[in-house]
């Protein structure tokens, strides 16, 4: 069984995907880490993020063992990842790894931007997780403040607005809800409520 979870930054999709995977006993792939790892490798070797040749060759030689690297979750890496993710050949280089992961029995949960539309268009379950821009910015702001960062809400709002525009405006596999995906709006939900709602959706789909 393949469960595809897509959505914009700070929608709660990553936490939800991990919780759902744990609940059903499936492995979980946070596909954003692949793009983050490519961006990390591009910058670590001194290339620019718009250097297509460097990004593509590093995507082709990406070592999945390095996806555990803690530094990948740092905020600046997400921005850089969003930029290399706009390069179609980078996306093509990462596609087979994601598909292979999804097809291993007994099943898998993948979260990202294009799982339901491009990576696993035949997924058994597709959920598009969202929340209003203001709520997502508020969550990200609280998270970064709690980590001791000196940021303002307005700065985060602008970062998320730009990230949404880049991820949904690119020509190759833009972020969008698949036509057959269920929408889960978490604006007024805490993580427990969102998790219960997602499990409810999945169980209804399975029993259909
Ligand atoms: O989910 P995240 O914040 O870790 O993702 C970082 C960036 O990677 C995101 O802004 C766009 C890109 N990404 C993508 O294009 N496709 C995916 N399936 C996952 C992430």
CATH number, domain at 66? 3.40.50.300
Q: Pick from 86, 89, 156, 164: which is nearest to 130 by CA?
A: 164
> Is the Cβ atom of 116 under 6 angstroms away from ligand 1?
no
- State the closest ligand 1 atom to the C-alpha of 77, by its place in the atom list counted from 1: 6
Confirm if 23 and 206 have CB atoms less than 8 A apart. no
Q: How far is the CA of 110 from the centre of ligand 1 (A)?
A: 12
Instruction: From residue 37, give the alpha-carbon distance in Å to each of 17, 87, 98, 150, 156.
Output: 20, 14, 14, 25, 22
pLDDT given at position 1: 96
208 inside domain:
no
How many angstroms is it from 88 CA to the middle of ligand 1?
14
User: Which atom, in ligand 1's list, is nearest to the CA of 98?
Assistant: 18
Separation of 183 CA from ligand 1 center, angstroms? Answer: 19
pTM score over 0.85: yes
* Distance of CA 198 from the midpoint of ligand 1 (Å): 21
What is the predicted pLDDT for the residue at 74?
Answer: 87
Residue 35 in contact with ligand 1 by CB distance below 6 A: yes
- Write out pLDDT tens, residues 11-66: 999 999 999 999 999 999 999 999 999 999 999 999 999 999 999 999 999 999 99
Best residue among 12, 33, 35 to mutate for probing ligand 1's pocket (most ligand atoms within 8 Å of CB) is 35
**What confidence score (pLDDT) does residue 146 get?**
95
pLDDT at 75 over 90: no
Predicted pLDDT at 76 = 87
pLDDT at 70: 87
70 within domain boundaries = yes
Tens digit of pLDDT for each residue in 137-187?
Answer: 999 999 999 999 999 999 999 999 999 999 999 999 999 999 999 999 999
The closest residue, in CA terms, to atom 7 on ligand 1 is 82
Residue 44 lies in a domain: yes
84: pLDDT strictly greater than 90: yes
**Inside any domain, residue 101:** yes
Number of domains present in the structure of the chain: 1
Does ligand 1 lie within 6 Å of residue 37's CB atom? Answer: no
Q: By C-alpha distance, which of 91, 79, 141 is closest to 118?
A: 91
Confirm if 85 and 91 have CB atoms less than 8 A apart. yes
Check if 31 has its Cβ closer than 6 Å to any atom of ligand 1.
yes
| Segment 4-26, tens digit of pLDDT | 999 999 999 999 999 999 999 99
Q: Is residue 11 part of a domain?
A: yes
Owning domain of residue 131: 2-203
What local confidence, expressed as pLDDT, does residue 205 receive?
A: 92
Burial of 164 by CB count in 10 Å (0-12 exposed, 13-18 middle, 19+ buried)?
Answer: middle
Strand, helix or coil for residue 126: strand
Per-residue pLDDT tens for 94-147? 999 999 999 999 999 999 999 999 999 999 999 999 999 999 999 999 999 999
- Quick one: which atom of ligand 1 is closest to the CA of 115? 18
């Amino acid at each position: 069984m393949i469960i595809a979870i897509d959505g914009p930054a700070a929608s709660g999709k990553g936490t939800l995907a991990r919780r759902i995977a744990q609940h059903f006993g499936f492995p979980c792939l946070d596909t954003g880490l692949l793009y983050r790892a490519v961006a990390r490798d591009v910058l670590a070797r001194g290339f620019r993020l718009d250097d297509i040749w460097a990004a593509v060759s590093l995507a082709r030689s990406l070592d999945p063992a390095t996806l555990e690297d803690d530094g990948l979750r740092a905020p600046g890496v997400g921005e850089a990842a969003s930029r290399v993710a706009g390069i179609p050949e980078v996306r093509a280089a990462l596609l087979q790894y994601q598909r292979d992961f999804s097809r291993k029995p007994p099943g898998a949960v993948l979260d990202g931007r294009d799982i339901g539309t491009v990576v696993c268009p035949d997924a058994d379950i597709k959920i598009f997780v969202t929340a209003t821009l203001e709520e997502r910015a508020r969550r990200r702001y609280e998270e970064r403040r709690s980590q001791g960062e000196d940021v303002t809400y307005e700065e985060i709002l602008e970062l998320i607005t730009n990230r949404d525009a880049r991820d949904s405006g690119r020509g190759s596999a833009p972020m969008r809800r698949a036509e057959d995906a269920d929408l889960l709006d978490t604006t007024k939900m805490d993580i427990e409520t969102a998790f219960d709602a997602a499990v409810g959706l999945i169980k209804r789909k399975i029993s259909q």
